[in-house]
């Protein structure tokens, strides 16, 4: 059996290998950006005006996300939250046009932030948070579905 590749097969393999390596390079760039963000996620909460704002408030984690009590407590955190949103691009409030101005990297960090927050709440539920935020941020049905699919994936891994 002759296993020597033809010139055409070698050319095809070379093009395919180039593509595979380029995709890997770009995925590594995305991973690096996410790792860099992981190292500084919400670090502004450890600085003023966020530090004292959040320290002096009743912890949001002890409340039901989206409840009347939760929303009332957020009103008292306006200065801290305004600063937080201004400094952290993974929040839709960071941008003039909300979700529409975000990058895919911002969305990944946002999704993971929502997942982590749902774990902090005693009655937290990521799918419920997605539903609430879908309305809050006027998410498209397609993006909402992608977030729901990802939430279900997180439950399996």
The string of pLDDT tens digits covering residues 97-151 is 999 999 999 999 999 999 999 998 878 899 999 999 999 999 999 999 999 999 9
Measured in degrees and rounded to the nearest 5, phi and psi for residue 97 equal -110, 30
Between 92 and 57, residue with greater pLDDT: 92
Cα 62 to the chain's mean position, in Å? 22
Q: Is the pLDDT of residue 12 over 90?
A: no
Which residue from 47, 139, 143, 31 is spatially nearest to 88, judged by alpha carbons? 47
Say if residue 72's pLDDT is above 80: yes
Give the pLDDT score at 2. 62
Note the pLDDT of residue 85. Answer: 98
Note the pLDDT of residue 121. 83
**pTM of the entire structure?**
0.89
Query: Does residue 92 contact residue 108 with C-beta atoms inside 8 Å?
Result: no
CA 30 to chain centre: 13
């Amino acid at each position: 059996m002759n296993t020597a590749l033809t010139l055409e097969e070698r050319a095809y393999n070379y093009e395919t290998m180039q593509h595979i390596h380029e995709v890997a390079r770009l995925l590594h760039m995305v991973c690096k950006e996410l790792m860099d963000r992981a190292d500084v996620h919400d670090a502004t909460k450890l600085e003023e005006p966020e530090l004292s704002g959040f320290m002096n408030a009743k912890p949001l984690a002890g409340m039901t996300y989206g409840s009347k009590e939760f929303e009332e407590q957020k009103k008292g955190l306006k200065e801290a939250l305004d600063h937080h949103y201004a400094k952290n691009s993974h929040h839709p409030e960071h941008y003039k046009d909300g979700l529409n101005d975000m990058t895919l990297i911002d969305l990944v960090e946002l999704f993971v932030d929502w997942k982590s927050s749902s774990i902090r709440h005693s009655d937290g539920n990521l799918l419920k948070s997605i539903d609430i935020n879908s309305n809050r941020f006027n998410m498209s049905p397609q993006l909402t579905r992608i977030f729901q699919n990802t939430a279900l994936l997180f439950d399996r891994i």
